[in-house]
Amino acid sequence: MGQDETDLTLTNRQGHPVTNNQNIRTVGNRGPATLENYDFIEKISHFDRERVPERVVHARGAGAHGYFEAYGTVGEEPVSTYTRAKLFQEKGKRTPVFVRFSSVIHGGHSPETLRDPRGFAVKFYTEDGNWDLVGNNLKIFFIRDAMKFPDMIHAFKPDPITNIQDSERFFDFCSSSPESFHMVTFVYSPWGIPANYRMMQGSGVNTYRWVNSEGKAVLVKYHWEPKQGIKNLTQQQAGEIQATNFNHATQDLYQAIEREDYPEWELLVQMMSDEEHSELDFDPLDDTKLWPEDQFPWLPVGKMVLNKNPEDYFTEVEQAAFGTGVLVDGLDFSDDKMLQGRTFSYSDTQRHRVGANYLQLPINAPKKRVATNQSGGQMQIRTDRASGQNPHINYEPSILGGLTEASQPGKEHTPYVAGQVKRESIDRQSNTKQAGETFRRFEEWERADLILNLVTDLSRCDSRIQAKMIALAEEADEEYGRRLREGLQQAPAESSGQSPLGNKDAGEAPAQAVRKGR
Ligand code: HEM
């Protein structure tokens, strides 16, 4: 450190003390400027590069650190009966986690009151390396085939000409994709606007497998249940918050952790034997379906506590990279077609969004030994060599002291797969039945808000789209269809192009709107 330097002395990135941070270097004090002014050029050109591409979806988010604590059991049984994943085995065992919550469709600073699913992505830094559980607040999804994802997102995002989100484009896609009707029923109800991030559920949505020490597998779905209770907003309530605050969910999470009111969720799983289950009227690999709780109970396996805010938003939250391919021993994929498409997409986009060495960043790197022959690429900050490794041997196999393969930790799960290769949708589609069940399970204020919100947005749509949506609602439930039809008959045709959302009131949500419910 220079003679007069203290820990607070400003330097540039080369470590040179900055003696004048107010003025660029000029010929005389009125300019022109000189180009060799390193401090200025370093400062401004770094600023010019402050942004990385935002996430193509889920751009707006908030994050927090914490831990997961295992119960050692799944329901009444030892968890080892079903999975050998180490993080679950021992009662009280803690695994550090980082969680990122998000909204989906709009950009990095969009209001957190918008009707949208919410992301709920958890990175577990386990002793076996990282496990990412990349979920949403709702337990199902709009589509069941990854092929449709880019079209779905194009229809939901702002119009390519006007840059305005347009409900006609949304319902055009959804009415022509009837598998989306169950999810539309949730998203257009108060469940589409969680009150904040602390008071919402999470779900892995897609079907995974658990594998035990004998290599036997079961199908599982993961769910997070908030200890804070669940709270959702009517459109009217969301509009009132949005009028004065469009950061309320990030603020709520940050402030709760600062005042040491740490949010908690219990992790529960539903299990099914690893078969096609022809007795069910839906396919267990179809992510537009709930697994009925009375047949497949929610079994607790542990809890998660978030107790530390990020120290820097960009370093930790923006650069965090979650992916469905990031699993540890004892956890496996299923043949769920969405899951398989997702698993390619996440690390692909992250190599573009964050860079080839995104896994070297502290937020993404496992908190355990990494030893790999992968090397090079932009922004490599270290080689991940083993301490005893011959540094000349960056390949495998070798007898000269390079890295060697690990032994198989347990019996491998090796499912037998045979069939014709084809492009076809699944047989048991049952597109509207569960939407009807969900409609009937809703409380009356939730049904009223759902109908109001659908009518408000559908009234601006082409009458053919309205007719298709009414037909889907009628197929789901007689009352659902009737109320939607009557609502649309009474609604004035909207042509202003302005979303009328928020202008009307579905009636008050009960004061005790904190609810349990699946
Ligand atoms: C983020 C693709 C379905 C939950 C993303 C990102 C992509 C993507 C490219 C941005 C990742 C990044 O930049 O780091 C897809 C594809 C899907 C799909 C191709 C279907 C084929 C789903 C489903 C869920 C989900 C069904 C819910 C379970 C999330 C979450 C994030 C995300 C929570 C944000 C993660 C974060 O906080 O960084 N998705 N997604 N996605 N997706 Fe998906």
What CATH code is carried by the domain that includes residue 9?
4.10.91.20
Which atom of ligand 1 is closest in space to residue 341's alpha carbon? Answer: 21
Domain of 14?
Answer: 1-50
Predicted confidence at residue 35, as pLDDT, reads 87
Residue 261 included in any domain: yes
Report residue 103's pLDDT band, with 50, 70 and 90 as the boundaries: very high
Residue 510 included in any domain: no
DSSP state, residue 405: P
Q: What angle do CA 289, 295, 298 make, to 5 degrees?
A: 80
Report residue 492's pLDDT band, with 50, 70 and 90 as the boundaries: confident
Residue 167 included in any domain: no
507 has a pLDDT exceeding 80: no
* Contact yes or no for 101/197 (Cβ under 8 A): yes
The answer to whether 58 is a known catalytic residue is: yes
Burial 45-56 (b: 16+ CB within 10 A, else e): eeeeeeeeeebe
Task: Please say which residue of 303, 338, 360 terminates a domain.
Answer: 360
Which candidate, 41, 25, 42, places its Cα nearest to that of 33?
25
Q: Is the CB of 322 under 6 A from ligand 1?
A: yes
Which atom of ligand 1 is closest in space to residue 148's alpha carbon? Answer: 21
What are 115's two structure tokens? 């009707």
Q: Are residues 124 and 15 in the same domain?
A: no
Q: Are residues 7 and 80 in the same domain?
A: no
Which atom of ligand 1 is closest in space to residue 136's alpha carbon? Answer: 27
Q: Are residues 14 and 66 in the same domain?
A: no
Q: Is the CB of 353 under 6 A from ligand 1?
A: yes
CATH of the domain at 322: 2.40.180.10
Task: Please say which residue of 332, 360, 388 terminates a domain.
Answer: 360
346 a known binding residue? Answer: yes
Number of domains making up the chain:
2
Question: Can you tell me the mean pLDDT for 454-465?
Answer: 97
The answer to whether 277 is a known catalytic residue is: no
Q: Are residues 311 and 276 in the same domain?
A: yes
Span from the CA of 57 to the centroid of ligand 1 (angstroms): 7
Span from the CA of 56 to the centroid of ligand 1 (angstroms): 9
Q: Which of 65, 106, 130, 136 is catalytic?
A: 136
- ipTM value, please give it: 0.97
Q: Are residues 1 and 139 in the same domain?
A: no
Mean pLDDT taken over the chain: 94
Task: List pLDDT tens digits, range 135-149.
Answer: 999 999 999 999 999
Residue 185 included in any domain: no
Which candidate, 413, 484, 428, places its Cα nearest to that of 212?
413
CA nearest ligand 1 atom 32, residue: 58
503 has a pLDDT exceeding 50: no
517 has a pLDDT exceeding 90: no
Please name the amino acid found at residue 169.
R
* Contact yes or no for 449/506 (Cβ under 8 A): yes
